[in-house]
Chain A
Amino acid sequence: MRPELELISEWIRPGARVLDLGCGDGALLAYLREHRQVSGYGLEIDNANMLRCIQAGVNVIHADLEAGLADFGDGSFDYVIMTQTLQAVRQTEALLDEMLRVGRQGIVTFPNFGFWRCRAQIALQGLMPVVKTLPYQWYDTPNIHLFTLRDFEQLCRRKRIDILQRTVLDHAHRPRLGPRLWPNLLGEIALYRLARA
């Protein structure tokens, strides 16, 4: 997780206002507060995570992302961030819209289903892929929307969302040569910075 925090942090303007959707234990917000002097809030539905945020002094708002972001005004944050969450929500498209309504920019990270091992497991073994970034079995996975880099970029084009920046990593969050040359085939984790066109 650490390298991903650092990469996201590099994209964030110091002193910005940040909303972190599905903020987990608040590690990203705590990191951004320390290294980028951001202010902001995390939204989290899980009680144990909420308690960890509270104890760490990270602002956490108990909320269900599926219900949208109606409590937040248009453009009220510089960045709305969603790390490893987009593939686990039901209202994927609606949440992307909400993200770019509330935030001037959006940052999303997700596991790439187009990674060659995923393709190989389906094509050669006929089984749903189980890889480091998608470690679950088909029957117990929280990831209900699986998609590739190309899928995501197609959606962005269709929705007139600008991709401002993209970084593709391996499963250990390293920006290697392979993922840089053939992102959709060799990349395991994708980071995007987005804005409404």
Chain B
Amino acid sequence: MPPTLPPDSVGLVIPQIAHFDEPLALDCGRTLANYEIVYETYGTLNADRSNAVLICHALSGDHHVAGYHDEDDPGKPGWWDNCIGPGKPIDTREFFVVCCNNLGGCKGSTGPTAINPENRKPYGPDFPIVTVKDWVRSQARLADRLGIQQWAAVIGGSLGGMQAMQWAITFPDRVRHSLVIAAAPRLSAQNIAFNEVARQAILSDPDFHHGHYYEFGVVPRRGLMLARMLGHITYLSDEGMRAKFGRELREGKMNFNFNFDTEFQVESYLRHQGHAFVDRFDANTYLLITKTLDYFDPAVDFDEDLSAAFHRTQAHFLVIAFTSDWRFAPTRSREIVRALVRAGREVSYAEIPSEHGHDTFLMPIPLYHEVLRSYLIRVAREVNAHAA
């Protein structure tokens, strides 16, 4: 490994592509005749294939969860690199870690930017809406392909936590541990409202062209940027923003200009986040995944009774929430815990003090990582006891 890469990194990784020709029937009633899923793996699958861990990504994440893509220009590592690697909480010396870009994504798995075989044009808005359940089914096919019958653990934060939950419900015998971080059993009206404003920002951009912007050689930059800026406000907390930006002015004084250039640091932060996002994310995927979030509700198949949804699950659960997260607040995680307790399932719950809001799930907060590490030490112990 070149000296530029830190020793506790999984190092250089090369994404892989799995092609599936077996049609996938989706919850919306449509079928994907064939599709591709791009994924990465770290660590080594053990002989009895019992040490595999699936990481599920959230709204803007992808398959590149740890390590680096380019040796000469390492740049930023994967999105959860602080948690995955040799000696890190998700220890790649113990586990074979898998992460894929979900269907409908824009980082290599089949999604709106992919070519529709029916008309040889990008799917765009014709790509079917996929649900968390669809994702879980497609991930199960990837698991089959990799020879993994049962995950030692499925782990995810936010929308990723919803997939971890859905895995335990849809495939009870294929998940030993489900780690549900900063998630909710379903979105609140307020959550959906924020998603709707984000969608309207994109839909009302003149460059959106009803989703067919690829054909016009443009992207709805302003709309996607606004959507991301709004999202970022919900990922942070009032106190976290105060601590990070306060009311600090970029030039040290108020200009009383009517041109609305960025004056406060927080404005500049949001604009930067918005700009950077437009260059790396597709607007149709953003629209699609906000709908995936809105539709998620595992209780709906069980008479609105979440604990009934958990009745068939066999996994042990670890639920984690962060005190200042108001997007998916601790009360939402406690709803999940309450339903699991009522269903008589094995569950532990940790509420981590943090001022960083929803975004905390990506941060190396010591207590948070200690909880993950402690839990996964136990998971590894079980794996090794079985293998021995």
Contact = CB atoms under 8 A, between A and B. Distances in A.
Given A41-B341, A54-B371, A72-B341, A60 B348 contact: yes
Interface size class on chain B is 20 to 34
A62 B375 CA distance: 14
A141 interface: no
Interface string B170-187: 000000000000000000
B215 interface: no
Interface of B: 318, 334, 337-338, 341-342, 344, 346-351, 367, 370-371, 374-375, 377-378
A125 interface: no
Nearest to A64: B351
A55 B349 contact: no
A126 interface: no
Contact of B349 (A17, A56, A61): A61
Contact of B374 (A17, A55, A61, A72): A55
A117 B315 CA distance: 51
Contacts of B344: 17, 39
A45 to B, nearest CB: 10
A135 interface: no
Interface size class on chain A is 20 to 34
Given A61-B348, A61-B349, A73-B342, A54 B374 contact: yes
Contacts of B367: 47
Interface in A54-105: 54-57, 59-63, 71-73, 76
B378 A54 contact: yes
The 5 closest A-B pairs by CB, nearest first: A55-B374, A54-B374, A61-B349, A62-B351, A71-B338
A28 interface: no
B370 A51 contact: yes
B374 A62 contact: no
B348 A54 contact: yes
Contact of A61 (B347, B377, B378): B347
Contact of A62 (B342, B346, B350, B370): B350
Contacts of B318: 54
Contacts of A108: none
A57 to B, nearest CB: 5
B347 A41 contact: yes
Contact of B337 (A47, A57, A61): A61
Nearest to B351: A62
Nearest to A19: B341
A57 B341 contact: no
Contact of A50 (B342, B346, B347, B350): B350
Given A39-B346, A41-B347, A55-B375, 15 more contacts: A17-B344, A50-B371, A51-B370, A51-B371, A51-B374, A54-B348, A54-B350, A54-B374, A54-B375, A55-B374, A59-B347, A61-B349, A62-B349, A71-B334, A72-B341
